[in-house]
A and B are shown apart, each in its own frame.
Chain A
């Protein structure tokens, strides 16, 4: 029995890769799980989780569809009774750039902003009232190292994924604002800005045929997901409003909890 027993977490995009690993890492700590994914395979993941002696339920759901978001959150409350942690992991990738035509851009906007920003927004907004009623909770949003780069690396995905970056910068805006708005309610809100991690998305870049020597350069999903466990374990007095940089070539670790920033410190 782990130290998260009795708690319930929602993980979005949990059929594969990092999302699945978040769910497993949490289940290993005894956390019950409600998971969703647009892929039907998410149902099998729930079966795997149950073998770890936790309660688990799966939903085939599209995070960019409001009714799907409601269904997952409402079901979590009615079947599990509470939501202690939300990990908004579901995300998609597409290339886009400032020279694209308007038709393609609008299509990319709907896809990328719909899933990567509106999906995060809707899931957060759906769970927040329940967390307030319960007296606390924790939201972890998944960002990108395009936003919080490792030292010396330019921001952005190099000019060829502007709408992906738009969504991810937007997620940071939500994270910071929610952290501030929800502090009085003991709800913590943090995010991860990760570099290359062994995920379904990154394997997809390589057409799921990345050579082992390439995969060996990436961060392991288990290590990144363990950071989420550590951050959740900090409990109600833990960090909030933190955007954790997790980068290849650097220690995969949580920095000490930052001191509160003055509202208007001298530069």
Chain B
């Protein structure tokens, strides 16, 4: 019996890559998984999980459709009886050079933000009442290591202003939710990853970054992909995160560094790696790190104190 037996997890964007790895690992830990994606392969992922004896519900829909999200969440709760984990993994990457024509610039804003921010908000809003009813839960938002300037300069390629802004924006949802939901035993964190071997990343090496080119010639060379992190390792880290019980943090995961949670962060730097973004080290501000992050009253690893 896995430690997530009897728990239910939703993973968005689970047809491939990280989402698929998250779903597989959650199922392996005993959770029922409800997965969705705009790509039809999500149904195959669901069928494969069911064939292995896991509780799985798979739906193909566009995460920007509010009504589809509502139906999905309601059906998940009805089928498995409650929702305990939400992994907001679905995301859209698009090249958006600052010199783009005006009409493209306008469309890109809505396209990127609707998937990467608005849908995260909607799915979280829908899941939170179920988590409160279940006595607690975990929300994981998927960010990027560009938002942790200690080891990066805060941005990636200069032609991705909207993707960057959307990932920075997640800090707002995660930080506020961690604080507002702490009393409900709901923890909210970001996984902020460097290059991980996913369809999204591999597609960037093809013309236009289009997924349909995947597998064709001109893909990323082996010496590049050798530096990618394995989605399964990130999924394992997510389980560690649940067992740790921390909340309101950007968990940095950098290629070339150990894939680990690291120490808990001070409240005033949970969302960032530096006291500001100008390269001034934290220690300029004096006192040694203090940590008043609340110990979890309970978390998924140990169950509720009342045994429910």
Q: Which residues of A contact B (CB under 8 A)?
A: 66, 70, 97-102, 105-106, 109, 113, 117-118, 121-122, 124-126, 128-129, 132, 147-149, 151-174, 176-182, 241-243, 245, 255, 258-259, 261-267
Which B164-188 residues have a C-beta within 8 angstroms of A? 164-173, 175-181, 188
CA distance A37 to B188 in the complex (A): 37
Contact A173 B166 (CB under 8 A): yes
Please tell me which stretch of B19-27, B113-121, B201-209, B211-219 contacts chain A, meaning at least 4 of its Cβ atoms lie within 8 angstroms of it. Answer: B113-121
Partner among A98, A102, A118, A265 whose Cβ is within 8 Å of the Cβ of B181: A98
How many residues from B make CB contacts under 8 Å with A? 67
Contact A158 B179 (CB under 8 A): yes
CA distance A177 to B121 in the complex (A): 24
Contact B278 A102 (CB under 8 A): no
Contact B161 A173 (CB under 8 A): yes
Cβ–Cβ < 8 Å partners of B188 in chain A: 98
Nearest A residue to B181, CB-CB: A98
Partner among B152, B167, B172 whose Cβ is within 8 Å of the Cβ of A165: B172
- Give 22 A-B contacts (CB < 8 Å), ordered by A residue: A97-B180, A98-B125, A98-B173, A106-B122, A125-B100, A155-B268, A156-B176, A158-B179, A160-B176, A161-B176, A169-B171, A172-B277, A173-B161, A173-B168, A176-B164, A178-B161, A181-B97, A181-B161, A243-B277, A245-B276, A255-B280, A266-B151
Contact A109 B175 (CB under 8 A): no
Nearest B residue to A166, CB-CB: B172
Contact A105 B165 (CB under 8 A): no
Please tell me which stretch of B2-10, B101-109, B299-307 contacts chain A, meaning at least 4 of its Cβ atoms lie within 8 angstroms of it. Answer: B101-109
A155-B150 contact in complex given A98-B125, A128-B98, A173-B164, C-beta closer than 8 Å: no
CA distance A128 to B161 in the complex (A): 13
Cβ–Cβ < 8 Å partners of A174 in chain B: 161, 164-165
Cβ–Cβ < 8 Å partners of B98 in chain A: 124-125, 128, 178, 181-182
Contact B168 A170 (CB under 8 A): yes
Cβ–Cβ < 8 Å partners of A241 in chain B: 153-154, 277
Partner among B155, B172, B267, B278 whose Cβ is within 8 Å of the Cβ of A164: B172
CA distance A122 to B285 in the complex (A): 36
Cβ–Cβ < 8 Å partners of B165 in chain A: 117, 121, 170-171, 173-174, 177
A159-B176 contact in complex given A180-B153, A182-B98, A264-B152, C-beta closer than 8 Å: yes
Partner among A121, A166, A179 whose Cβ is within 8 Å of the Cβ of B117: A166
Contact A128 B164 (CB under 8 A): no
CA distance A41 to B285 in the complex (A): 43
Q: A127 to nearest B CB, angstroms? A: 11
Q: B133 to nearest A CB, angstroms? A: 12
CA distance A167 to B125 in the complex (A): 17
1/0 per residue, CB under 8 A from A, across B280-291: the answer is 100001110000
